[in-house]
Structure formats: structure tokens, C-alpha cells
Chain A
Amino acid sequence: MKISVWGKELNAWVAAAALSKVGNHVTLASLTPGHFETDLVVRNEPGLIDLLREQHKAGRLQFSDAPAPYDNDVHWLAFASDTFNIAEEIVKKIAKQTHGKTLLINQSYFNIGATEQLDNLLDSSAGQFIAYVPSTLSEGSALRDFENPSAFIIGCDYKQSFSQIRALFRPFLTRISNLQLMSAREAEFTKFSINGMLALRLGYINEMANLADSIGVDIERVRDAMTCDYRIGPYYLEPGCGFGGKAFSNYIRGLVETFQNKKISSLLNTLLSENEAQKELPFKKLWQHYNSDLSGKTIALWGASFKPLSASISNAPSLKIIDALLAQGCKINIHDPAALENIRNNYPDETKINYCDDMYDALTDCEGLILSTAWLDYKCPDYSLMKERMAVPVIIDGRNIYDRDYLSDIGFVYYGVGR
């Protein structure tokens, strides 16, 4: 099929790469070739840049310098939440310039009801249809998630378009165990509800962790036992120093706004502010350890991306920790396997941050280590080298990746989340 992909979000790039890989002719309508070499969204995602280069070379992937791609079989919309008016303009042009049938797949991060609004701009009697297919990819494993979804939701109000939708997604649905068909509005609502639920689980376990902390219980033992209950399960129950990322946070914020517009107070609103506070938890533990005076101290930070396997620092807890430490006059040695450049760009003129390519170098003369991202690299470090490098062996484990008792045994002062 001939496909136009609109928008600059991660799912635009991923859809373009994956769809062209299976033979479609794809035009990335909002982007130029120069983009993918410099775009952070692309560079932060493992494997994406290589696939894009490959497909471009093979001639199946074009960019906006090709003729304006309004007249195509399929239009893929992958816009950020705040660009609805741009999407509207594009859909109007598609409606006007398309000869024959066309299918629009909306995968943008718009609010509930957006697909219907876009549908109003189309002429279904002329075979112009729109479907909402929520994005199931998560940053760090986006390509894999796109190509091998385990469940699939299609929100579409036009039965006539089902055969084309099936044909479009056929290469990716081989291992599908669950396909849900519903109206576009229901599908949008489902996407928001899923993200809200996951966020609530994270918020809940963090709240329990903070309580456990204050009454001398180890939340990790509690969590292990909780996850054995089949009604609860293990997902999104890791206590830690808060969640980040762009898409996930945007969904929760969008949902909170929907509640606020309806003047309904929402659990999620509290959850969002609690999550922001949770991001500062490692800082607070260090602050208390040093009796409210951190001025002039050198602190090491391991991990800056919002989650492992991603270079993205969007809404990352590390940013809050860095801001708090800088405000107290600390020097910070940062190590991250992928996100250092992003941090550097975020603090262009900051002289008190020292960027370290080696994780142990970051520990040199530091009076405390904060771990904020659970990269594999950090899970089993050389403890004796750590102690040797650190001026004071204090560890704030923001992701509970270390064995508390062992670290205490070998002479570290250890603080975790909820333990």
C-alpha cells in the first residue's frame, strides 16, 4: 500500500520503519531525511535509526521532500497531544485532495473524542474512513512492541473499512491473542483507562513504600508476596522514585484534564502530584542523612534516563534530583549509558555537573550515590571499587535494585524506597 505518515512523535517513526519493512511505500510527510539523524526521539530508541536508514536506502521510505502525499491509500496520524489543530488542517486537505477511497489510522495522543472530530472533516460516502488504533509501544522497546503486539484494539465506526484495516496490520498480527473491535471513542477511552490504571498501581505501591519506610517494614518483601496473588500480578508494582517518559505522562495529564473539565476530582490528580514528589525522594533521603545541609558536597548520580534502555530524559526523576542538588550547591558526577548528551543539552551552562563515561569515575570523592535508573550495568557492580572511590559510602537506591542487607554488611550506608 501507499502510506503517508503524519506527525513527529516516536510512533510516527516506528510506524514508518515497520510498515516499510514489510513492503509498503511510506512517506514520512512531516519530516525530512536530516531529521532522523538528529532527532532525539529516534536516537533514543534502540535499533530505530538503523532500520530507518535501511528502508530509506531500499527506496521504500520517503520524506516530505517528495510530492505532497495527500492522495494515498492510507494516512497514519501520529501527533503530539497539543497539535490537534495541525492534524485538523491536514485531514481537511486529505479530504479535499484524495481521489477514491482512503483510510486514516489515528494513533495520536489526543484527548477522548478527537477521532470523531476528525471524522467530521471526512466524507464517508466517498470512501474516506478513519479508525483509532491506540499505540501499544513503550519507549525502549518500541519496534518490538509495534511488530509483535500481544493484544490489539481497533476503534472504528465503519464496517466497510475493516478489510483494509486487516490487510494493513496483517503482517503484525500473527501472534495476536486478543483483538478488540469497538467504536473510536471507546477505543480512545480504553487507552486512557489502561494508562490510568497502570499509573495508579505505581502510585499505590509508592504510597505503600513510603508508609513501610516510616514503620520499619521492607516493602520489597511485601511486594513479592502481593504479586503472588493472581488478582494482582507483578506488573507496574515496582516501588521507586517515580515514573516519567513523555507519552505515559501525557496520557495521565490528559486524563486529569478531562476530569477537571468535568469538575470531577480525580485520584489521578493526586497521583500526578505525588509522583512529582516521589521523584525527589532520593534527594530527601540524602538531605536527611546529612541533616539538612548538602552545600558543597559532591554527589554521584547513576542513571539519568527515565527508564533503562532509553536515552530519553522526558519527565525523568533524574531532572528533579539534579535540580534539587544544584539548588543546594552540590557538585554532581553523572553517569548514564545513553542519556548523558540529553542531560548536557538540558543544562547547557551548568558548571557544577561533571559528565562521566565510566560509572566508577562518577564515584570519585563523592559523599553519596543516588541511583535513579535501573540500568543492567548497575545491578552487580564492583562494590570494593565503589568503596575505594567514594569519600563516604552512602547509597540511595531509587529503584531498589540492591540487596539491602548485603550492602550494610560490607559497610555501605544504604537507603532504598520503602525499606
Chain B
Amino acid sequence: MKPSLKDSISWKKLVELAKTAKRSHLSDLFKQNPDRFDCFSFRHKELLLDLSKHRVDTEVLHHLLELATERQLPEMIESLFQGDKVNSSENRPALHTALRLPATQELWLDGENIVEGVHHNLSRTKRLVDEIHSGQWRGFSGEPIDTIVHIGVGGSDLGPMMACRALAEHAPEQARGLDIHFVSSMDGSQLAKELRQLSPERTLFIIASKSFSTIDTMANAATARAWLEHSTSAPIETLLNRHFIGVSATPDRMSRWGIKPDHQLEMWTWVGGRYSMWSTIGLPIALKIGFENFTRLLDGAHTMDKHFRHADINKNLPILLAMVEIWNINFLNINAHAILPYDGRLKHLPAYLEQLQMESNGKSTTQLDEKVDYHTCPVLWGDVGPNAQHAFYQLLHQGTEPVMCDFIVSARRYTRSKNSALDHQHNLSIANFLAQSRLLAFGNNALNTAHNTPNYKRYDGNQPSSSIILDELTPESFGQLIALYEHKVFTQAVIWDINPFDQWGVEQGKVMATDLMPSLIEDSENLQDVDSSTSGLIKAIQWSRREHSR
């Protein structure tokens, strides 16, 4: 049996090292070793990871990687890839990596080669995409579909939405006439806005829900269905057949809702929602960027999978990134993490990573159901860097919270544009990324600040950051980037001995909401079971409605 985390040899050694590190400043580290970039930056394919602006030295990194080995990370990686039941609380594997395996490979799970099923559904996805792109998917009146509304929430929403936005410029000719909208909010506000502008004859809804029972999604789906019914006298079977595609791991529920078997895409219980954009949940991505480009995205992620599984631990990007963050979180007490893409196309990356990391690693019990006595996932947030500079960077530079940052940028952009003003804008953005990461790291030392400068104009610096540079934002490099983060999350979960693939913390609220529904529909006096705050709020809402209806 493994010793508890804090009792492991490397952990103790790192605690020792942290005593000095806590007092060190990044500018001193760079003075001591001017070649830090060469020592602490790493490359895999189209992706460069610079970790030199973290308060690590060779010794710290050595012990961090020792810790990983001591916590049996290599064995756990094998377990993950082989399909062992790494999601212990739900007793199932987590095989998002299988979604990216080439058709020539095999992976057997309970007597079934799941790669076959994956590629079978990929070819079904391709068929649907071809039919829609060729203008031959017809609505009830015979008009070709030119608008897609993707209804999903959480993992069924954030990944596809992020990828569609990130890779939009890769849309092939036949996809350019297709509008894709994402709808997730439970209160229907997004859907209501879309429906006002859309043509029922030309709109196709994708209902994406692993369980096909997520209340947010099913409520939006019901509204979409009612909207179609009100717009035409065509029979409901026709509307269901021509205007809905379902993506779910529960085909019987899709059928019961009315989705034709031909229009059901399968996903699997062994894929977590937040790891599912590579599966049939990625249908909107394939519709946006074309099926070819969707497979390039999968290929990109697959190269990162192979790298994570086989590359030496000293050169393994996801492991290095994970362990340096562990150093920040557990030894330097940095528990806030900002995601800062310097590229407007990656606008939805922060929201995606918030879910990927906080829903995966926002846990406080070990795999053996014991409370942890160390920090796990930090609070994550972010925005497109240049915009965030006008919002929360003040706190990063002069606040009281230590924050680590991820800067993400692509080296080349606008390569096909003749507008040199756009090149200038790209350079402007890169210059800002370089300036901000420098200022955050070195503070006054990068500025030649005069002695008599008042404190409010001073920058303490010493905020660590990782820089990720993509050669160019392509489906491949984007696939690599997202897989890098997935594997980083897994690595950290292994170190913390937590299960990154369940999410019990989001279950109970849904149940409680269901229990509270009746008190909002009827004027219930029966509120004894709830606390005074909740009952007070319910009464206030009831009162407001009564007053209005008078």
C-alpha cells in the first residue's frame, strides 16, 4: 500500500525545499541561472511549453518527478489507457483516449473491441455531416437545413462551443452557409432569443446529453419541440424525424423522446461528459469545420496521448505542467489559477478549462474515501488576455493573492491574409503577452523603478506563469493543447489520490431543486421542511406573482 501523500519521501523533501523557495524571487532565479529558458522549456510537435517562469530549479523539478514516480503515476497512466476502472466511485473506465485511436488499433473492453464502435459512430457522424453539408437534409417543408441549434449543457456544450469558435476559420466551403448556435441555459433565455430569429423549416436541433435526462437540456428540447409544433401543421412524427438528432449513451431514452434510431448517435458510459468533445458529442464541431478537420483534431489529441503514455517523464509535457502546478499549489500555497489566451479564437477556453479542472479535481476525499489534508484543485478563471488586462489584471499585479497564470498564444496567424494591419494586431497581442508575463514574474526588477517611487506604483512580481506557444492554431495543435490539459488534470488527480472522473458534488442540488418545484407552481403553505431563508425567499416570489396577477 502507498504511504499517505504527506508521508512520502519526496513530499517531505519538497516541503524542505519550499522553505527557501517561498522566500525566493523569480528575478533572482533568472540572475542565478540566465539559461532558465533552455532548462525549463519543452516541446512536443506543434506545441512549446515554457515553465521557466515558475519558482522551480533543477532540484525541485527532480523531486517533483520523483514524487510522481513514487505515487505510481506511470502505472496509473497505463491503467487509464488500458481501460481499467479508474473511475472507482462509478465503477467504470475513463476512455476518452480511445475516442482518438486510429481505426487500425484495438482496445478490448468487456469482450468488445470499442475502437470498432467508435469508428462506426464516426462514420455515422460523417454521413450526417455530408447530408447536411450537401444541403440534402430536409426539414418538414423540403427546405434544406441551414441552421443547427445544439442543445446541451456542461460537457455537452462547452467543448463543442469552444472548438467551433477556435477553429471556425478552418470551415470548408460547404460548411460556410451553415449557422450553428449553442443553447444551454436552463431558464430558456438563450433559446428564446434564438427562436425569435430562426426559421422552423430550416432548423435542426441536436440534443446532446449523456444521460438524456439532464433537466436543463430536456427543458430546452421540449421548448424547441413546442416551437416547431406551433409553426406548422405538419404531424409531430415528421417534425421529430426531420428536425432532431440525439446524442446520448441511453438510446432507449432517445427513442422514448421521439428521436428516430437513424438519427441517434451513440456515446458511451466510459466517456466522461467533460472529456467528450472527441466523441459524437463533437458533431457540431464536425459540422462547423468539416469531418476531415474533425479527424485532424482527433489525430492531434492522439499524438499527445502517445506522448503522455510513452515519453520520458523528464520530457513529458502534461506531467511536467502538472507537477510544476503541484509545486505552486501544495508547497507555495498558490490556490488561484488564471487562464489567459492571447487569441480571441480561444475565447471559450477558460470556461472549458474551468469545468475540466474544477469538476475533475475539485474534490476533498481520497480514492479510499478519506478526507485529504492538503490542497487540491485551485480556483480557476480567465478570459482573453488583452481583454482581461482591462478587467482583473490589477489584482494579478498588485493584489494580495498569489496567482499562477497560463498564457496561450499562437506564433503564426493571418498567414493567408493580405491585410498587414492584421499582422500588426497579432504582433500587438504577442507583445502584450510577453510584457504581461514578464511584468508578473519580475515586477519592479523589469522596470528600473526609482527608489522614491510610491508603493501604489510598484509591482512586486513573483507571480509564476506557464507559457504555451502553438506554432499555429490548427485542428492538430488545438487537439494537442486540449489533450495536454486533460492529461495534466489526470496527473494531478493521481498525485492527490482523488477520482477526477466523478462529480458527486453536483448531484444533490438537482434533487433538491426537484423537491422545491411544487412550492413554486402552487401556493404551497407547506414549507416547514426548509430553513427560514429559503421559505422567506419562496414566499417573496409567491407574493410578487400574486400582486402581479391581481
Residues of A within 8 A of B (CB): 277, 280, 283-288, 291-293, 323-324, 327-328
Contact with A327, one of B134, B141, B242 (Cβ below 8 angstroms)? B134
Task: Report the nearest A residue to B142, measured CB to CB.
Answer: A284
A292 touches B143 (CB 8 A): no
Contact with A288, one of B134, B136, B142 (Cβ below 8 angstroms)? B142
Complex CA–CA separation, A293 to B141 (angstroms): 11
Among A323, A327, A328, find the residue whose CB has the most chain B CB atoms closer than 10 A.
A327
A324 touches B136 (CB 8 A): yes
Complex CA–CA separation, A283 to B238 (angstroms): 17
| B140 within 8 A of partner (CB) | yes
Contacts of A324 in B (CB 8 A): 136, 138
Contact with A292, one of B136, B144, B241 (Cβ below 8 angstroms)? B241
| B235 within 8 A of partner (CB) | yes
One digit per residue, 1 when the CB lies within 8 angstroms of any chain A CB and 0 when it does not, for chain B 235-257 equals 10010011000000000000000
Complex CA–CA separation, A242 to B334 (angstroms): 67
Nearest 10 pairs of A and B residues by beta carbon = A284-B142, A327-B136, A287-B142, A292-B238, A292-B242, A292-B140, A291-B238, A288-B142, A283-B142, A288-B141
Contacts of A283 in B (CB 8 A): 142
Chain B contact residues (Cβ within 8 angstroms of A): what range? 10 to 19
Complex CA–CA separation, A280 to B139 (angstroms): 13
With contacts A284-B142, A288-B142, A292-B241 taken as known, whether A323 is within 8 angstroms of B136 at the C-beta atoms is: yes
Complex CA–CA separation, A332 to B540 (angstroms): 66
Residues of B within 8 A of A (CB): 131, 134, 136, 138, 140-144, 234-235, 238, 241-242
- For the complex formed, measure the closest distance between the CB of A228 and the CB atoms of chain B, giving whole angstroms: 34
Jot down 8 A-B pairs with beta carbons below 8 A, ordered by A. A277-B143, A284-B141, A284-B142, A285-B142, A291-B238, A292-B142, A324-B136, A327-B131
B138 touches A287 (CB 8 A): yes
Contacts of A293 in B (CB 8 A): 241
With contacts A280-B142, A327-B136 taken as known, whether A292 is within 8 angstroms of B131 at the C-beta atoms is: no
- For the complex formed, measure the closest distance between the CB of B368 and the CB atoms of chain A, giving whole angstroms: 56
- For the complex formed, measure the closest distance between the CB of B418 and the CB atoms of chain A, giving whole angstroms: 15
A284 touches B136 (CB 8 A): no
Complex CA–CA separation, A288 to B235 (angstroms): 11
Task: Report the nearest A residue to B138, measured CB to CB.
Answer: A287
- For the complex formed, measure the closest distance between the CB of B508 and the CB atoms of chain A, giving whole angstroms: 43
Contacts of B131 in A (CB 8 A): 327
Contacts of B238 in A (CB 8 A): 291-292
Contact with B234, one of A284, A285, A292, A328 (Cβ below 8 angstroms)? A292
Contacts of B235 in A (CB 8 A): 291
Complex CA–CA separation, A265 to B241 (angstroms): 37
Contacts of A323 in B (CB 8 A): 134, 136
Complex CA–CA separation, A252 to B143 (angstroms): 24
- For the complex formed, measure the closest distance between the CB of A285 and the CB atoms of chain B, giving whole angstroms: 8
Contacts of A285 in B (CB 8 A): 142
Contacts of B140 in A (CB 8 A): 292
Contacts of B142 in A (CB 8 A): 280, 283-288, 292
Task: Report the nearest B residue to A276, measured CB to CB.
Answer: B135
Using A287-B142, A292-B234 as known contacts, list a sample of 10 further A-B pairs with CB atoms less than 8 Å apart, ordered by residue number in A.
A277-B143, A280-B142, A284-B143, A287-B138, A287-B141, A291-B234, A292-B142, A292-B242, A327-B131, A327-B136
Complex CA–CA separation, A328 to B234 (angstroms): 19
Complex CA–CA separation, A277 to B201 (angstroms): 13
Among A280, A286, A292, find the residue whose CB has the most chain B CB atoms closer than 10 A.
A292
Contacts of B141 in A (CB 8 A): 284, 287-288
- For the complex formed, measure the closest distance between the CB of B203 and the CB atoms of chain A, giving whole angstroms: 15
- For the complex formed, measure the closest distance between the CB of A398 and the CB atoms of chain B, giving whole angstroms: 14
Contacts of A280 in B (CB 8 A): 142, 144
- For the complex formed, measure the closest distance between the CB of B235 and the CB atoms of chain A, giving whole angstroms: 7
Among A284, A293, A328, find the residue whose CB has the most chain B CB atoms closer than 10 A.
A284
Complex CA–CA separation, A280 to B141 (angstroms): 11
Complex CA–CA separation, A402 to B136 (angstroms): 29
Task: Report the nearest A residue to B143, measured CB to CB.
Answer: A284
Contacts of B143 in A (CB 8 A): 277, 284
Complex CA–CA separation, A288 to B143 (angstroms): 10
Contacts of B234 in A (CB 8 A): 291-292
- For the complex formed, measure the closest distance between the CB of A35 and the CB atoms of chain B, giving whole angstroms: 33
Task: Report the nearest B residue to A289, measured CB to CB.
Answer: B142
Task: Report the nearest B residue to A277, measured CB to CB.
Answer: B143
- For the complex formed, measure the closest distance between the CB of A206 and the CB atoms of chain B, giving whole angstroms: 15
Complex CA–CA separation, A283 to B143 (angstroms): 10
Among B142, B144, B234, find the residue whose CB has the most chain A CB atoms closer than 10 A.
B142
Complex CA–CA separation, A285 to B144 (angstroms): 13
Complex CA–CA separation, A284 to B134 (angstroms): 16
Complex CA–CA separation, A292 to B234 (angstroms): 9
- For the complex formed, measure the closest distance between the CB of A131 and the CB atoms of chain B, giving whole angstroms: 36
Contacts of A327 in B (CB 8 A): 131, 134, 136
Complex CA–CA separation, A293 to B143 (angstroms): 13
Complex CA–CA separation, A283 to B142 (angstroms): 7
- For the complex formed, measure the closest distance between the CB of A90 and the CB atoms of chain B, giving whole angstroms: 30
- For the complex formed, measure the closest distance between the CB of A244 and the CB atoms of chain B, giving whole angstroms: 17
Contacts of A288 in B (CB 8 A): 141-142
Complex CA–CA separation, A93 to B241 (angstroms): 62
Contacts of A292 in B (CB 8 A): 138, 140, 142, 234, 238, 241-242
Contacts of B136 in A (CB 8 A): 323-324, 327-328
Complex CA–CA separation, A249 to B285 (angstroms): 34
Task: Report the nearest A residue to B136, measured CB to CB.
Answer: A327
Complex CA–CA separation, A275 to B146 (angstroms): 17
Complex CA–CA separation, A328 to B241 (angstroms): 13
Complex CA–CA separation, A283 to B141 (angstroms): 10
Complex CA–CA separation, A266 to B140 (angstroms): 30
Task: Report the nearest B residue to A291, measured CB to CB.
Answer: B238
Task: Report the nearest A residue to B131, measured CB to CB.
Answer: A327
Task: Report the nearest A residue to B241, measured CB to CB.
Answer: A292
Complex CA–CA separation, A277 to B142 (angstroms): 10
Complex CA–CA separation, A292 to B235 (angstroms): 10
- For the complex formed, measure the closest distance between the CB of A22 and the CB atoms of chain B, giving whole angstroms: 47
